[in-house]
Structure 1
Amino acid sequence: MLKRQGVIDTWHDRRIGAGQEIDAAIDNHINSDEIILLLVSPDFIASDYCYNIEMARAMERHAAKEAIVIPVILRACDWHHAPFGKLLATPEDGKPVTLWPDRDVAFLQVAQAVRKAVERCRKDVPIPASQIARSATAIPQPPSPLPATSPRSSNLRIAKSFTQRDKDQFLLDTFEYIARYFENSLQELQARNPGYEGVYRRIDANRFSAVIYKDGRDVARGTVFTGGQLGAGIYYSQGDSLAGNSYNESLSVNADDQTLYLKTLGMSHFSGHDQKLSQEGAAEALWGIVITPLQRER
């Protein structure tokens, strides 16, 4: 919508055309664009070029009030100690996009942050006299000395198809991801909350349990399992379910024309029904069933 309204014009290094000098193209934009998004992930931090050159220059211009830098936290990483760690990140509270049950909600917050930055930019950053005649609905951009790439459509998506093998593997990979997610979350909950203890137990290849104790008293107990008589799916059962097949929530694998995703049955109001969930979102949906009642305790 920002582009359709003419509020922004965008650039990224995938727009560098064949024969163009890569460093010069990037330098041209990093030294002139008014809003710079840092797409933060472990790969971003590990990249010497992104971290030491692009980010360093962006932060210099931010400090000089020549540009607005917005950290967009895509994936979980130790970003708070970086030079941009002092900036207010998006999505809200710096929660990584991949950890949101619905990624569209996360990216909406990113878009809203960009819109607010544009409003500040128009108010606070003086427009060079040479650009006063340019459209008031677009962010001023100095003309590029580099040749433009050939025009093309951005509508290049082709429908994909997924086999049953793809779906089965995705289900197994998701179960293992949820198992690690619960184990790590229980450890971190215990570390952050005195008096609480989180216990993870891997029962077998297809089942694990999670228990939370408060001052030695169990206050949450659940089991996650897959397979069995219930068929393909991942199931959550309140309490200990070591052999039975009863459950309080389930996840199934679905597909659209682009990707595999997970969907809850909607038996629990903590689980994000009707959303297309990533593996992270699915894990958070089940974890929410465990943790949300404790967060509501007085």
Structure 2
Amino acid sequence: MPSVFFSYSHIDEALRDQLEKQLAMLKRQGVIETWHDRRIGAGQDIHASIDDHINTDDIILLLVSADFIASDYCYDIEMQRAMERHERNEAIVIPVILRACDWHSAPFGKLNAVPRDGKPITQWTDIDEAMLQVAKAVREASARFMSNPVTEVRSQSPQRPADIDRTGLRSSNMRLTKTFTQREKDQFKLDTFEYIARFFENSLSELGERNRGYEGVFRRIDANRFFATIYRDGKDVARGTVYIGGDVWGRGICYVEGETTASNSTNESLSVESDDQTLYLKSMGMASFGGSREQKLSQEGAAELLWGILIGRLQNSSY
């Protein structure tokens, strides 16, 4: 059974946990086994344990983010060793792009990254779909490894010592159900609104640079509301308001077509929800350019959804 090693920054531990959930079926079916540094027992040598696995595991997942690249240990030690083994056909290295960063010029930039087209997981509207693509890639890599094991080359690689201390062996399944307070949910909503505001401001600016004759204008009204307007040759062709809800939609982030200071109407609404591990956003699925109610949206996914409503009519019309 191929063993899978997670190389990641601890900043991205929550995303690693989500990914390991998606690999659960492969583990149940005996397709793979997994290991990461949270399985190191008390009193064990951390670096020796990691070296043992990075030198012998069959599939190595590089969970790529700016923090991964900035980490001397992840980049200079784990990644470099993984690529050496990949080049010698001792292991299969799969770059998993978690968050947007400058990764294409890295040594692993030549490899086929997942999710599809190397689009960062946090930029997907549906994070579960992105994670599923990674799981499918791992299943395919496992099948490829089992059908063509590189036993000769692997025999030359460092072996796990026969007298390794087994007392620290334990499951990596240590997740317990997390609960989130209303204070944490409210803060997540505020943080998400600020993220969406910055996302719109930057996107409106870039829109004009990329499309001749178009101009995007961002206007922040107050702490809980902003207007977004797109002009073509001086004529307004799209207007939208994003606000934290009022009397009716007070627990969500709302989008309404046009510019309004009212808080009693919406074309789309995002609510803060939680599962047993994370906070996420859920679309009401009210707008024709909106998302599915079943999707678990990240902050980037939520911003993309609302931006898609604003620009969607221009992409699907004769404007």
Q: TM-score range by the shorter chain?
A: 0.7 to 0.9
Partner of 1:41: 65
How far the C-alpha of 1:215 sits from its partner, in A, is 4.1
After the TM superposition, which of the residue ranges 155-164 and 68-77 deviates more from structure 2?
A: 155-164
Pick one of 174, 186, 208 that aligns with 1:190: 208
C-alpha contact (below 8 Å) 2:35/2:172 kept by paired residues: no
SS in 2 for 1:10: strand
Return the alpha-carbon distance in structure 2 between the equivalents of residues 20 and 214 of structure 1.
Answer: 64
C-alpha contact (below 8 Å) 2:238/2:310 kept by paired residues: yes
Return the alpha-carbon distance in structure 2 between the equivalents of residues 9 and 207 of structure 1.
Answer: 48
Residues 43 and 68 from structure 1, CA distance in 2 versus in 1: closer, same or farther, beyond 3 angstroms?
same
Partner of 1:135: none
How far the C-alpha of 1:118 sits from its partner, in A, is 1.8
Residues 120 and 187 from structure 1, CA distance in 2 versus in 1: closer, same or farther, beyond 3 angstroms?
farther
How far the C-alpha of 1:272 sits from its partner, in A, is 1.9
CA deviation string 1:225-275 (max 9, x = no partner): 113333232110112224464321111223344443322222114322322
C-alpha contact (below 8 Å) 1:15/1:149 kept by paired residues: no
Partner of 2:254: 235
CA deviation string 1:72-121 (max 9, x = no partner): 01111111221211211111121111122221111100001111212222
Pick one of 257, 267, 278 that aligns with 1:248: 267
- Given the two structures, how large is their TM-score scaled by the length of structure 2? 0.80
Residues 129 and 201 from structure 1, CA distance in 2 versus in 1: closer, same or farther, beyond 3 angstroms?
closer
Pick one of 207, 226, 239 that aligns with 2:244: 226
C-alpha contact (below 8 Å) 1:266/1:273 kept by paired residues: yes
How far the C-alpha of 1:43 sits from its partner, in A, is 0.9
SS in 2 for 1:88: coil
> Structure 1: which 4+ aligned runs deviate by more than 6 Å?
none
Tell me the number of residue pairs that the alignment of Structure 1 and Structure 2 aligns. 289
Q: Letter of the aligned partner of 1:6 in structure 2?
A: G
Q: Letter of the aligned partner of 1:106 in structure 2?
A: A
Alignment of 1:66-145 (within 5 A): 66-128=90-152, 143-145=160-162
Identify unmatched segments of 5+ residues in structure 2.
Answer: 1-24
Q: For the aligned residues, what is the CA RMSD?
A: 2.6
C-alpha contact (below 8 Å) 1:66/1:125 kept by paired residues: no
1:2 aligns with 2:22: no
After the TM superposition, which of the residue ranges 206-215 and 78-87 deviates more from structure 2?
A: 206-215
SS in 1 for 2:207: helix
Residues 47 and 149 from structure 1, CA distance in 2 versus in 1: closer, same or farther, beyond 3 angstroms?
farther
Alignment of 1:9-20 (within 5 A): 9-20=33-44
Partner of 1:272: 291
C-alpha contact (below 8 Å) 2:39/2:169 kept by paired residues: no
1:262 aligns with 2:281: yes
Residues 219 and 4 from structure 1, CA distance in 2 versus in 1: closer, same or farther, beyond 3 angstroms?
same
How far the C-alpha of 1:63 sits from its partner, in A, is 2.0
| Identity level (%) | 68
Return the alpha-carbon distance in structure 2 between the equivalents of residues 110 and 250 of structure 1.
Answer: 30
Return the alpha-carbon distance in structure 2 between the equivalents of residues 214 and 121 of structure 1.
Answer: 54
- Given the two structures, how large is their TM-score scaled by the length of structure 1? 0.86
Q: Letter of the aligned partner of 1:32 in structure 2?
A: T
Residues 4 and 27 from structure 1, CA distance in 2 versus in 1: closer, same or farther, beyond 3 angstroms?
same
C-alpha contact (below 8 Å) 2:62/2:95 kept by paired residues: yes
Q: Letter of the aligned partner of 2:284 in structure 1?
A: L
Q: Letter of the aligned partner of 1:281 in structure 2?
A: G
SS in 1 for 2:35: coil
Return the alpha-carbon distance in structure 1 between the equivalents of residues 43 and 182 of structure 2.
Answer: 43
